[in-house]
Structure formats: structure tokens, C-alpha cells
Amino acid sequence: MDDSLDNWFIREILVHERALMRYLLRSWYRREEIHDLRQDIYVRVYEAAAKARPAMPKSFMFTTARHLMTDRLRRARVVSIDAVGDLDALNVLVDEISPERRLSARQELKQLTEAFDRLPERCREVLWLRRVEELPQKEVALRMGIGEKTVEKQVAKGMRLIAEYFYGGGHTHRSRQRATADAEHGDGHGQQQAD
């Protein structure tokens, strides 16, 4: 197992998840498939990078995303009129949808804090005790008067939610603003993304 490939993936690909989610939400009509679509994109990028690292990781990821969506459209529909998404929206320049911008450590902490604050009550408490006060899971269970298994479950849940909020930006209710922005630009191409 190539460990440096893992690091590359985290550093060059995962950091763009927010932009990727915006792109997917804009281009793909079926919300419920986006999670799965994202996984497929990551798998393809990871496997390709195992052979040779792409020179421009972000562009490569977006190109992969576009190919995957086009493939799915072709497979899903026989009748041409039934376009699931809006194929034209797929032809966007990567830099238009996500201007290059690395977050400072402080901004990252801010995002983490926001992600943390969005956790459900119990989950948030477990994560505080485990992560900030650094108590072992067993201790957290004692402190909160709940079972160790429950603590473990809450840790797993917190992990998933933090990943969703921190990397994905907890995107779901942004879609409407985006649709409006599209309308204002008439053709739905390359509009600036508000953060």
C-alpha cells in the first residue's frame, strides 16, 4: 500500500470536495445519487493516480466527474429527450466554479468549529470529551453515563458528519441560491460561486 498516494489524495483531491459538491449539485438532477457519484469519482481518481499522478489534480478530478456523469446519462436513457441533468452545465471551466484558494489555518479552524457546532447535541458532547479533553472512549462513557458501544457509535457518526461539513461544506441547502444565480446569468454557465 503506497502511503504517499494516500497523502497525495487527501492533500490534492479531498480539499476540493466543497467545489466538487457544488459542481455535482448543479449538474446532477438526482440528489440521492450524488453520494454514490462522489465515491465513484474518488475511486477513479485514486486508481488513476496509483498508476501516474496527474499534473493538475483538480482539473483531473473535474474531468473525471464530467466523464462519469456523461457515462451515466448514456447508460440510463435510451430516449434522447430525457436528459437527466443539463449536459451543457457540465462544460464549465474548472476555475470558474472554484477559484483557487487555499484556506489559512485560522479559516480551517473556523470551518471545523462550524462543523462541530452543527453536530447533534449528544454527538457534539462525545466529540468534545474525546477530542478536546482527550478522554479515552471508556472515560467518556462513564462521564456521560452511557454505554461504551454508544460512545463508539457517536464517534463514528461524528466522524461522518465532520467529514461532510468540513470537506463537503454541508452543501444541501445552497442549491436554491445557485439556481437563482443561474437564472440571472441566463445560461447557467460559469457563474461566480458565493461561499
Partner 1 sequence: MASSRQIELIASAWLARRDGDGWSTQDQLQLDAWLRESTAHRVAYLRLDAAWRQSDRLKALGAGVPAGVVPERGAWGLAPLPESHAMPSGSGTDDEPSAPARIAAAHRFSASSRAMRRASKSRPRRLLRYAAAGFALVVLASLAWGWRHYAAVDQASYRTAIGGLQDVPLPDGSMITLSSDSRILVTLSRSERHIDLQQGEAFFKVAKDSGRPFVVSAGDRRAIAVGTRYDVRRDAGDLRVIVTQGVVRLESDNGPGGHDRPSTLLPAGSIALASDAGVMVNSGSVQRAEELLSWRSGFISFHDTPLASAAAEFNRYNTRKIVIGDASIGTLRVGGNFRWSNAETFVRLLELGFPVRAVRGKDTIVLKSR
Considering only 20, 22, 116, 193, the residue that binds partner 1 (CB under 8 A) is 116
Q: What is the DSSP letter of 32?
A: G
Q: Which residue has the cell 502511503?
A: 3
Gyration radius of the chain's alpha carbons: 19
Residues numbered 155 to 194 that lie near partner 1 (CB under 8 A) are 155-160, 162-163, 166-167, 175-176, 178-180, 182-188
Task: Report the residue number, 94 or 164, with the smaller CB distance to partner 1.
Answer: 164
The candidate with the shortest Cα–Cα distance to 73, out of 58, 83, 59, is: 83
Least distance in angstroms from the C-beta of 154 to partner 1: 8
The DSSP output letter for 30 is -
Minimum CB–partner distance for residue 149 and partner 1 (Å)? 10
**What are the grid coordinates assigned to 162, written together?**
465532520
Find the part of the chain contacting partner 1 (CB under 8 A) among 4-12, 51-59, 63-71, 94-102. Answer: 4-12
Tell me which stretch binds partner 1 (CB under 8 A): 52-60, 64-72, 92-100, 119-127.
119-127
Binding track, positions 24-63, relative to partner 1; x by CB under 8 A: -----x-----xx-xxx-xx--xx----------------
- The rounded distance, in Å, linking the Cα atoms of 147 and 106 is 35
CB 18 within 8 A of CB 24: no
- Give which of 195, 191, 12, 163 is closest to 95, Cα–Cα: 191
Percent helix, strand and coil across the chain, each to the nearest 5: 70, 0, 30
136 binds partner 1 (CB under 8 A): yes
Binding residues for partner 1 restricted to 75-114, rule: CB under 8 A? 79-89, 105-106, 108-110, 112-113
* Minimum gap (Å) between residue 31 Cβ and partner 1: 8
